[in-house]
Structure 1
Amino acid sequence: MSLPEVSVIIPMYREGPLISETIESILSQTFTDYEIILVDNNADPETRGFAEEFVKKHPDKIRLTKETTQGIASAKNKGFQESRGRFIVFHDGDDLSHSHRLATQHSFLERHPELTFIGSWHDLISHDNHLIKKNISETLPSFWAETEKIFNQHFQEAFLRPKTRPIKFPLISTCFLRREAVRAAGGHDERLNPRWFEENEFLLKVFDQGDAGVIPEALLSYRKHSPEGNRIMKDQMNWIRKTRHLNTFFNILKERYADRPGTEKLLNRLRSHFLRYTSQFFLQHKDGAPLGRIGLKRAIESSPADELSRKLLMKSYFPKALYPKLFWFDHWMTEPLPTEVNESFIRSLFA
């Protein structure tokens, strides 16, 4: 039995009927030399039931495997272990690949052996398949756009070899990767389970293997989460866990880059950016402004030229009635700050 050219790895958790639409979008590809690996990451019975039906109908194309350690990183690593293709696609379980996606990306990488992977633009759709925006090329959300900018300003200092193309963080579902690059990168870091930051941490390791590119065409429809999907994600990762997770992400980057010559500026800029980002969580609490100010002052210490942190620090002393408009949040967090979230906590972040 010949090996497939492409392995499409789809982790499953709480997608429900949306997993069927995702699988159908792969089965409808004009490029047919692929396998689909569905990774049951403690999926609910409804999601698993839909998956099992597809396995029965397409046993030559679809395999179902199990990963009990909860988290996207673990699920994708399990899928990669089970995969056989020369090229790898890590596909979210609710997104939709356009019918020519695999053909376009396979052809592109075959013509460009110097690239480790290729991403693409994407369309944004609602949870019920209504088009919201076409041909999105910019890096989203703005947090990653700023992170991307920092790496592009300092990547010659941080990476193992000169790069001829700028770093870009495309949506992971749009990425089409060479198998050897995924293996050399060591897969996804499972310290970032259950979710958040694992995808771009992984892509940064792939960038260490070589250059990458982005096809200027939407090859995937990225699905905006439903209210229920947002609730599930919030239950997994509230703002405190997200802050701790970002701290873990920073420590992973520090482990990787600290010993490379000239990376002090990169780490200082990232520290400042991450402190400014997390300080706004504290400012959204009515009793959190003092802690938010500590974070902003640390951001300025780490990168004195950071004008945005200076502006936010100044705004933090304005009357609280102005806060939602000043800091771009819609409402106050009404629950009190947990006792473990104190001055010691915020001073320990990104140290």
Structure 2
Amino acid sequence: MHSPRVSIVIPLYKGGCYAKEAISSALSQTYKNFEIILVDNNASDETRNYALPFVKEFPEKVRLIHEVNQGVSFARNKGILEAKGQLIALLDDDDIMYSDKLQRQVEVFDKYPDSAIISCWDDRISYDGKILSPNNVPTEIFWVKILLGETQYYKNSPFIFHLPSTMLFPREKAIACGLYDVRFSPSYMTEDVDFEFRMYKLGYIKVVSHACIAYRFTEGAFEEQKWNGERIRSFTQWAGTNIVFTVMQEYLDLPPSIYRNKLRKIQSQWLREFACFLMRFPEKRSAAKRLFKRALLAQPFDYKAWKSFLRSYYPSRFYAHAFHFESDARFPSSFSFPDGFEETYFSISSRFL
């Protein structure tokens, strides 16, 4: 195996046939000084069958390692630690790297070698390859702004969330920040923001103003609804363990009276947004109204919390417009809420009140 400068880490789980496309796109880079590390994270047989031929055909470029602990945090950490390159590029097993991604990002890193992350724009594509939304710019994360928005560091360079597949970063900085927090495994849908936030504290984030990856995004109503179901289960899981607020307190070197107020603001918005989502389910609207009240209890002077709360008492025919969902949206018959999710969310709202 050669000594690469960049290691492309691709966790394998359920990418299926798209894993083949992901690996092929990594191999097609115009920048040639790289290796590909495939991390078998209890991958499906289909995914593994698409990946193994690359290991045999390109042994000097592609190697396969195994991580038995389930979760993308474990898988990425294993890949980063096993990497030989100075720089790490992440790629999910259903996304696509455009051929100039590494070339563009390495050039930026060489210009700004103290950077913590080099990111880029992305195209959102459907599972049949259709472009749904081109040139998506990374977005600001509201809770980080609440935590750090008043600091000079944040004012100089606001924290922006980047999809994992867009990122290139120094391996040493990733190790220095503690890698991905496995407390978020198997998946709480927040491990990416947490990792990027800790990297951000070690150096600024630079962005290539060009779409360098394609991120597969669900297109149809069924897929959107399926994703929302997974989101609810994931959020309920982390809510039950209190992991997110525990981690947030670790970030804050502040007196309790100050950080409690910041966490109340974050709680209020999360409760309000989740309650808005629940309003599309007639049988969950009473729970949604209770959550709106808890959001108000956390932030009594928040006009958005008041607006959502008052809208929940509109006639039901106005709910679709008021809470931004399709009036004829239907979830698949297999969809169900996790047991005890309401009690879990109500417990969130009382922790810092």
Structure 1 residue 250: Cα displacement: 2.5
The one-letter code of the counterpart of 1:329 is: F
- 1:116 is aligned to 116
CA deviation string 1:170-200 (max 9, x = no partner):
2111011111221112111222223311111
> Structure 2: 5+ residue runs without aligned partners?
none
Counting only pairs closer than 5 Å after superposition, residues 261-340 of structure 1 correspond to structure 2 as 262-330=258-326, 331=329, 340=340
Question: What CA distance in whole angstroms lies between the structure 2 residues aligned with 1:171 and 1:275?
Answer: 24
User: Which of 329-338 and 21-30 deviates more?
Assistant: 329-338
| Per-residue deviation, residues 69-119 of structure 1 (Å, max 9, x unmatched) | 221111111211211211111211111111111011111111112311111
Matched residue, 1:91 = 91
Partners of 2:55 and 2:338 lie apart in 1 by: 46
- Contact 2:41-2:75 within 8 A present in 1 as well: yes
Q: Separation in 2 of the partners of 1:235 and 1:297?
A: 23
Give the direction of change, closer, same or farther, for the CA distance of 1:302–1:258 in structure 2 (3 Å limit): farther
Does the alignment pair 1:237 with 2:230? yes
TM-score (norm 2): 0.86
> Are residues 228 and 186 of structure 1, via their aligned partners in 2, closer, same or farther at CA, if it must alter by over 3 Å?
farther
Segment drifting more, 236-245 vs 45-54: 236-245
Mapped to 2, the partners of 1:51 and 1:110 lie a distance apart of 32
* Native 8 Å contact 1:286 1:332 kept in 2: no
- State the partner residue of 2:245: 251
Q: 1:94 to 1:337 in 2, by over 3 A?
A: closer
The alignment partner of 1:64 has SS state of strand
Give the whole-Å Cα distance in 1 for the aligned partners of 2:175 and 2:264: 30
Q: CA RMSD in A?
A: 2.9
Distance 1:150 1:156 in 2: 9
TM (normalized to structure 1)?
0.87
Query: Secondary structure of 1:88's partner?
Result: strand
Change over 3 Å in CA distance of 1:56–1:78 after alignment to 2: same
Identity value in percent: 30
1:131 aligns with 2:123: no
User: Residues of 2 paired with 1:188 and 1:338: CA distance?
Assistant: 26
Aligned counterpart, 1:345? 344
Following the alignment from structure 1 to structure 2, what is the Cα–Cα distance between the partners of residues 107 and 295? Answer: 48
| 1:127 counterpart SS class | coil
Please tell me whether the aligned partners of residues 121 and 136 of structure 1 are also in contact (alpha carbons under 8 angstroms). Answer: yes
Q: Could you say what secondary structure the match of 1:323 adopts?
A: helix
- Shift in Å at residue 149 of structure 1? 3.8
Report if aligned partners of 1:291, 1:346 keep a CA contact under 8 Å in 2. no
Task: Note closer, same or farther for the CA distance 1:109–1:338 as it changes in structure 2 (3 Å cut).
Answer: closer
Cα–Cα, structure 1 residues 104 and 129, in superposed 2: closer, same or farther, change >3 Å?
A: same
Change (3 A) 1:200 1:338: closer
5 Å matches for 1:1-351?
3-139=3-139, 145=140, 148-152=141-145, 154-155=147-148, 164-195=156-187, 196-225=189-218, 230=223, 234=227, 237=230, 239-245=232-238, 248-260=242-254, 262-330=258-326, 331=329, 340-342=340-342, 344-349=343-348, 351=351
Give deviations 1:141-174, integer Å, cap 9, x for gaps. Answer: xxxx4xx144235415679x67631111121110
Q: What SS does the corresponding residue of 2:39 show, helix, strand or coil?
A: strand
Deviation at 1:254, TM superposition (A): 2.9
Change (3 A) 1:3 1:254: same
Once the two structures are TM-superposed, the CA of residue 329 in structure 1 deviates from its matched residue by 2.6
Point out the more displaced range, 226-235 or 267-276: 226-235
Distance across 1 between alignment mates of 2:336 and 2:131 = 39
Three-state SS of the structure 2 residue aligned to 1:15 is coil
The aligned amino acid for 2:100 is H
2-structure distance, mates of 1:75, 1:229 = 28
Q: Distance in 1 between matches of 2:162 and 2:171?
A: 18
Question: What is the SS of the residue equivalent to 2:202?
Answer: coil
Counterparts in 2 of 1:277 and 1:244: CA distance versus 1, 3 Å = farther
Measure, in 2, the Cα distance between the counterparts of 1:264 and 1:321: 38
Contact 1:188 1:198 in 2 (8 A): yes
The count of aligned residue pairs is 342
